[in-house]
Copies of this chain bind each other. A is one copy, B any other.
Amino acid sequence: MSTNHDTPAAERRRDPAEEARTLVASMTVAHLATVSGDGEPWCSLVSYGPTADGDPVLLLSSQTEEGRHLVQQPRASLAIHDPSAPGDPLDRPRITLAGRAVRPEGEQAEQALHAHASAIPGAMLYAAWEEFSVWVLEVGEVRCVGSLFQTDTISRDVYRASEPDPTAPVAVKMAEHLNKSPDGLLVVARELAGARGAVSAVCTGIDRYGIDLACTGAGQSAAARVLFGEPLRSASELRPATAELISRAQSAGD
């Protein structure tokens, strides 16, 4: 099976900062590390929702260790991964956000609570209780670890300037959908990914830039990638963009 190698642009994919923003936007559960006034670390399961800048918003009870700690010592660290991802947990992409937790006031507190409750709707049941406080973890540094990320350190500015992949919430379902009628993918693999000898193609991933395919043919298998016409700006663009890819491939094959 021949593979077309003069398409380096097809390698364009999310960079570590986009991966981090996408992971933060995709999850709602994380682990928080705080420190007591006398320096004892404490690790706890928390839920969060991110602000538009990617700062996680927590809603913590003053009856918990973490809630007490942050009052005395605002430095905090939040670890996030996707526990549903396949494979060895230690091989999965994961991030640690390090920063300072602040209690917003006034309108900022409203906005922060809204960010939290958008991800955790049930939070509105107890958000008004006196013992609960909204905390915003102002991200200072991001460490990305894992097979996909390797290890990258991202500054606050780069993290904030990036954005989550808008297609992430629907990408897995779209890949499943595409794999149900694989003829279209096979034409894409043959005509647009240069895998002319492919006899089968399976979609293994989708992001705002393109789709990843696993192609097989002549007893060999190869990964291939095809880019959308331009990076997608919303989840609703994903379906027409994949239809366009297949249509473009079919035209090329005629």
Contacts and interface: CB of A to CB of B under 8 A. Distances in A.
Interface in A125-174: 143, 145
A41 B43 CA distance: 10
B83 A43 contact: no
Number of copies: 2
A45 B77 contact: no
Contact of A77 (B41, B79, B88): B41
B45 A98 contact: no
A42 B142 CA distance: 11
Interface residues of A, number: 32
Contacts of A79: 31, 43-45
A43 B43 contact: yes
A94 B43 contact: no
A22 interface: no
Nearest to A31: B31
A9 interface: no
Contacts of A76: 41
A217 B42 CA distance: 47
A167 to B, nearest CB: 25
A240 interface: no
Interface stretch (A12-20, A32-40, A201-209): A32-40
A43 B65 contact: no
Specify which of A40, A45, A98 lies most central, judged by the most chain B CB atoms within 10 Å of its CB.
A45
A78 interface: yes
Interface of A: 29, 31-35, 39-45, 47, 65, 73, 75-79, 81, 83, 88-90, 94, 96, 98, 122, 143, 145
7 contacts: A29-B89, A34-B41, A35-B35, A40-B75, A41-B98, A65-B96, A65-B143
